[in-house]
Amino acid sequence: MPGRALRPIALVVVAVCVVAVAAPAPCSDSGSVLRKVPFTFVPERDYARVFLAGTFNAWSTDATRMNEVEGRYEIDLLLPLGQYQYKFVADGDWITDETAQAFAPDGFGGQNSVVTVDGSFEAVPLEVGDGRIVTEHLGHGQNAWEVVRAADGSVSLRTRVWSGDVEGVTVRWRVDGGGAAGAEAPAGAIPMDLVDGDGLFDYYAATIVAGATFDYFFEIEDGGTVFRQGPDGLVEAPGSAGEFRFDADEFPVFQTPDWVKEGIIYQIFPERFANGDPDNDPDFSEWYYEGLTDLPNSGRSNEEYFHLVDDWYDIEGLAKSPYRTDEKPDWYSFYGGDVAGIHQHLDYLANLGITIIYLNPIFQAKSNHKYDAATYTEIDPHFGTNEEFAAFVEACHAREIRVVIDLAFNHTGETFWAFVDTRERGERSEYWDWYEWKKWPLPDGWTSGGLEYYDCWWGFGQMPNLNFDLSRPNPEEHTVRDIDDAEVNWPVVNHLLDATIYWLTEIDVDGFRLDVAGEVPFWFWELFRGRVRAAKPDAYILGELWGASPEFVNGKYYDAVMNYAFFRDPLLAFVVRGEMDAAAFDSAIAPGRFVYPDEGVRAMMNLLDSHDTERLLTTAWGDTRRLKLAVLFGMTYVGAPALYYGDEIAMQGGRDPDCRRPFHWKWRDDPVRADVHAYTRRLIALRKEHPCFARGSFRTLLAEGRVYAYHRSAAGDDAIVVMNAGTERSTVMVPLEEAPPHDLLNVLTQETVAVAESGDGLSFEVSVPPLTGYVFTYRKSESER
């Protein structure tokens, strides 16, 4: 389901020359000069806190707090030249700046404000060795991506500085008993490594072993000037900014499953993949379909009409229903897909190279998407039985394929047994407090829906929200972190946790995707992670969050999120829609490697599309070159690549429900589909053949015009990827940081290219056709590493 109530909590100021809805303005600054951009908000009433959110900070709702000054709120940001969209967020309310230069649609019926940063704003130069260190917007918040404790006792520390502004960063620490605070000789000090950059910030990291508790601070150096960074900010040496405190009890070990980091994810919408058992096709005999399976004499109805489509390949109704009088699609059609159908095609998936199957909900429910659960402990009878599903999981494991299932715990369906009991018995029901009722009883003739009667997900009465916290209404309970601050509704919580453990232990699934995860309390997910990891230590916990979500990815909550913000969205803008140049694309994806711990970054679900989005090939106007280029990037980037069923055979589809078409099993008869399948299979094999793609470092080599090149490297295994997202052939010189031991092999064309040395260093020339990507590989022996 789409995560409409996004809570993107970015911990960096991200300069991305891209707008959220409209086409972005190109980045034109050299990176050596920033501009000071003032923002002012004059409120019409009192607010406790006001933040600035926009494309410069991944729409974070609490990363950039504005300062109250005599009844107004102000802040100055340092930004490169470019165009940015923004809004004010005042106590959770999103407010357009009506004094802005321009406006753009926000995608929700309102407008974002737009500021164009040009030469008229005050310049702030950046230069290495000039002795001037720009300190604005720098900080070390001891967040999950800045302090990471490993199982071996080591601790990784990370901080950032403005790109191209300093000569180096050192971390200094002392263990307990190592001397008084501010002592001249701390217990240890090491230079930090410059690990990466996003075009705006350089990121420095170091790993130390200093025990369960220690104090530390950073020294930032440039041209003889030294600033010390601590909890009190940045202070020029020899002054002190205090010391950060590390306590192992405050930083749980964060480790994500290796099978995810090395895996290939394949998402399946169960009702539409394959019909393996026609005997269990929907007959709509369940009580909740009564009166909803017949059309009036006219043959048309705009109400719920549940029915089975006889022809698997009849997809017209998914774009426009033949049964409605309006132009809307058919949301109520079924095709008979089931677990048996997936089971029968496991060899197809194994041959493709899939190692992880992620299934949309399988629980019994009224709808075809099953996000409206009638129970959390039984599979839908038209998908199969619990025993059949357990056999399916066992068969997957025999092929070294893991299984992840979807959990929608924010809400149940209106057919859920506990909700039905409350609907029928009112406050006499022992489950009355499982939901937030506003009025009861429901009116005579009620069939579905009821926003005015009970709290439900985004107003959809078919999905009543569960009540986790008896002390506050939904959605106020979502942001509560400490369980001691909540009045826990333990019957609800225990039922959800017990159901989770059933699927994990009795059925042996390997992990969970958490639907609308940001609309469930933090403290519940902390309980959830504890129970899940105790039952199966290598289980995968994946949250559905559409924005930057670093507060969720750590040892308390999730392993990773669906990477819309820092993978899919920029990839569509760069490769599919052609709205973004390579430099802007590099800046857009880079924060995704820094706002999360490395363990989380490598477990991100890097999706191209999903059941909630238009299919990528449809967005690409049917151009399979763009689809193939997107697949190439996914298979060679950091994180777990994910395919939505049918991506590999060039399936198309508009928004829900058209993106949920039945799988096209006649793909072999279509040369275009067969070509995309062969290409995808080859790239999956390539990722498996080269450890650098799953475990290696990432370094941008070139971002010029529409050409993007990067280097992946791990333990002697190296690959260089060159992508041309433009519509014209492009010949470029790709710079290298080191000399490979031999000529580079283009594994997709089997051609080799030589590396040349010039006054500018090492490089190689390559001519790349339009909308095409190349992968060059080389291996080094131990003596050459």
Strand order across the beta sheet in which 707-714 lies: 697-704, 707-714, 717-724, 772-779, 744-746, 751-753
Question: 7 is written with which tokens?
Answer: 């809570």
Distances (CA, A) of 92 to 7, 13, 106: 10, 20, 16
Query: DSSP readout, 203-234?
Result: EEEEEE---SEEEEEEEEEETTEEEEEETTEE
Q: Name the amino acid, one letter, at 654.
A: G
Q: How far is CA 40 from CA 37, 87, 110, 136, 388, in A?
A: 10, 11, 20, 18, 60
Q: What would the two tokens of residue 487 be?
A: 């009045």
**Nearest one of 362, 356, 344, 359 to 402, comparing CA atoms:** 356
Question: What is the phi/psi pair of residue 105, to 5°?
Answer: -60, 140
Give one word for 405, left, alpha or beta, with left for phi > 0 and alpha for psi -120 to 50.
beta
Give phi and psi for 566, each to the nearest 5: -115, 15
Helix (H) or strand (E) holding 397: helix 386-398
Note if 394 is an active site residue.
no
CB 178 within 8 A of CB 185: no
How far from chain centre, in Å, is Cα 739?
A: 35
Instruction: From the candidates 222, 271, 406, 544, give the one annotated as an active-site residue.
Output: 544
Angle between the N-to-C axes of helices 624-636 and 671-689, in degrees from 0 to 180, rounded to the nearest 10:
10
In the DSSP assignment, the letter for residue 464 is B
Backbone angles phi, psi at 601, to 5 degrees: -55, -45
Phi-psi region of 499 (alpha: psi -120 to 50; beta: other; left: phi over 0): alpha
d(CA 779, CA 768): 23
The Cβ-side half-sphere exposure at 166, using a 13 Å CA radius, reads 25
Nearest-CA neighbor of 55 among 95, 100, 2, 106?
Answer: 106
The b/e string for 555-575 (b: 16+ C-beta within 10 A; e otherwise) is bbbbbbbbbbbbbbbbbbbbb
What is the token pair recorded at 639?
Answer: 């994180």
Mapping DSSP to helix (H, G, I), strand (E, B) and coil, where does residue 514 land? strand
Q: Is 515 a catalytic residue?
A: yes
For 359, the enclosing helix (H) or strand (E) is strand 356-359
Residue type, 746: N
Q: Which of 515, 551, 612, 614 is catalytic?
A: 515
- Residue positions annotated with a catalytic role: 515, 544
